[in-house]
Structure 1
Amino acid sequence: MRYLTARKRAEGRGAAGSATEHHWSMTISSVGLAFLVPSWLYVFGSALGESRTVVLETFARPFPAIVTALVLVVGMRLGCLNHALLTAEAIAARG
Structure 2
Amino acid sequence: MAANGEIDLVQPVLDPIGRRLWMVVEVTIRLGWRAVRDWHQRLRSEGFRRLARAGLTGPFPPGIFGLRVDRRAAQTARAFGPGLLTGRGQNLAPTSEVAGFPA
State the TM-score bracket (shorter-chain normalisation): under 0.3
The structure number with the bigger radius of gyration is 1
Whichever structure has more strand as a proportion of its residues is 2
Q: TM-score, normalised by structure 1?
A: 0.26
Greater RCO (Cα-Cα under 8 Å, separation 6 or more): 2
Q: TM-score, normalised by structure 2?
A: 0.24
Whichever structure has more helix as a proportion of its residues is 1
